[in-house]
Amino acid sequence: MAAKGGKVKKLPKATHEGNLQIGKWAVNAFVLDTDPPLRAISKKSALTILSAPSPGKLNESVTKLRLHPAMKGHAFIKCDLDFSRPLQFHRADGKAEEGVSAENLVELCRFLLKAREFGLLRNRLDAAFAQAAEALIVSIAKVGVAALIDEATGFQRERERDALQKLLDRYLRKEYAAWAKRFPDEFYIQMFRLKRWTWKGMAINRPSIVGTYTRDIVYARLAPSVLDELERLNPKNQVGHRKVKHHQWMTEDVGHPALNNHLQGVLAIMRASGSWRGFNQLLKKAYPRIGDQLELLDLEESDLD
């Protein structure tokens, strides 16, 4: 976007984004890298909430009300939102997005409700905008009160722990299962090729560092806290051995399919790679490590001698 003097104005970028449920609406929400950080929702979400057939229709109603003497006489009523000039920014993936400040949207809703209070709504469309504004304000109040209570009582942390536990319950068993082959031989053959080690077959014991690489390449990238929970359920004994393989703790319906899908993706990257370092670079892009549990990914071959 060009600014005065021909300079290109740098657009804000979303550092965080997600879907927020407010009442009956699913809202695309963003936090932008401004100072202070700006909370925003997509323009499309805002228009849907307000039941606006088009930005022009909404702007027409708001402009008419803004110029009304009854509203101009109340300086405390702000209404700076103009849907013909939406907030422009980039999403985290670099795509352009149009949105509105969450604060400005709330102020617009208060403006519409005040106009209704003054009896200034003269047509069905104005009344529909005000009714939608009221529904949004009520929904936000309900969500806000619940969030404040959750934070004050500590229930928010409990809720987060419950959500994580439900995720782990889907991936991991309460008791480990009998051993079954889960890792294809090619996984180790490709690892040896990329590390330039001599492959002597599956019957020969592999270097202990292979287990460290496997934890990082596979288990540390499956889902949040899965590796931490596996380490708790399946610890090493005094001589450094585990009672069973990590995958024996994984569930049949979620854990094993997720493991298999991950391994197939990793194998594709291995086949396309010509070196261990090149493989690591592609792996980090395709399957970012969750939680940074390990820092052993780029060990040199000399570390294994």
Residue 111 — very low, low, confident or very high, per pLDDT cuts 50/70/90?
confident
Secondary structure of residue 6 in the 3-state scheme: helix
d(CA 227, CA 209): 17
93-96: long-range contacts, CB 8 A cutoff, minimum separation 24: 96/11
Residue 217: which of 188, 255, 252 has the closest Cα? 188
Whether 3 contacts 15, CB under 8 Å: no
Q: What phi-psi label fits residue 66: left (phi over 0), alpha (psi between -120 and 50 degrees) or beta?
A: alpha
Start-end of H helices in the chain:
43-49, 55-66, 69-72, 102-117, 124-153, 155-171, 185-195, 209-217, 226-233, 255-272, 276-286
pLDDT per position as a tens digit, 44-94: 999 998 888 888 888 888 888 877 777 766 544 566 677 778 899 999 888
Whether 77 contacts 121, CB under 8 Å: no
> Facing residues of 68 across strands?
none
Lowest mean pLDDT among 71-75, 96-100, 174-178, 283-287: 71-75
pLDDT per position as a tens digit, 206-229: 888 999 999 999 999 988 888 988
Pairing of strands 87-90, 38-42: unpaired
Residue 185 — very low, low, confident or very high, per pLDDT cuts 50/70/90?
very high
The pTM of the full predicted model, rounded to 2 decimals, is 0.51
Secondary structure of residue 274 in the 3-state scheme: coil
Q: Which residues, other chains included, contact 210 with Cβ-Cβ below 8 Å and sequence gap of 6+?
A: 188, 191
Whether 120 contacts 71, CB under 8 Å: yes
pLDDT per position as a tens digit, 1-47: 445 555 557 899 998 888 888 888 888 888 888 888 888 899 999 99
Residue 189 — very low, low, confident or very high, per pLDDT cuts 50/70/90?
very high
Give the pLDDT confidence score for residue 260 in this predicted structure.
Answer: 92
Q: CB count, 10 Å around CB of 84?
A: 9
d(CA 259, CA 182): 8
Angstrom distances, CA of residue 281 to CA of 21, 198, 232: 36, 23, 29
